[in-house]
Amino acid sequence: MYRTGFVPQQYVVDAICESRFKREQSARRNYQRNVYESIEYNDNRFDNMLHNEMDILKRGIEDDESRKIRTFNRYEC
């Protein structure tokens, strides 16, 4: 049987967050690489996905801008 010492909770949380961050970065790089290869070879695999991503991005930007305007109007002098 192995003897383990006390592991601080913050260390565990930091390790989990770092692992999650690395996985997300890796997934993002893989996705970008696939998209670039698809564009390079004139493959339409990601065509719908790119349009959906752009729509989501536009909606997010519009929502963010309207939120900023509402916040600004609320504090306007």
Write out the residue range of the structural domain in which residue 25 sits: 9-45
User: pTM for this one?
Assistant: 0.46
Residue 2 lies in a domain: no
33 and 56 in a single domain? The answer is: no
Q: What is the DSSP string of 26-43?
A: HHHHHHHHHHHHHHHTT-
For residue 17, the one-letter residue type is: C
Assess if residue 1 is contained within a domain: no
Structural domain count of the chain: 2
pLDDT digits (tens, 9 = 90+) for 14-62: 888 888 888 888 888 888 787 777 777 776 666 666 666 666 666 666 6
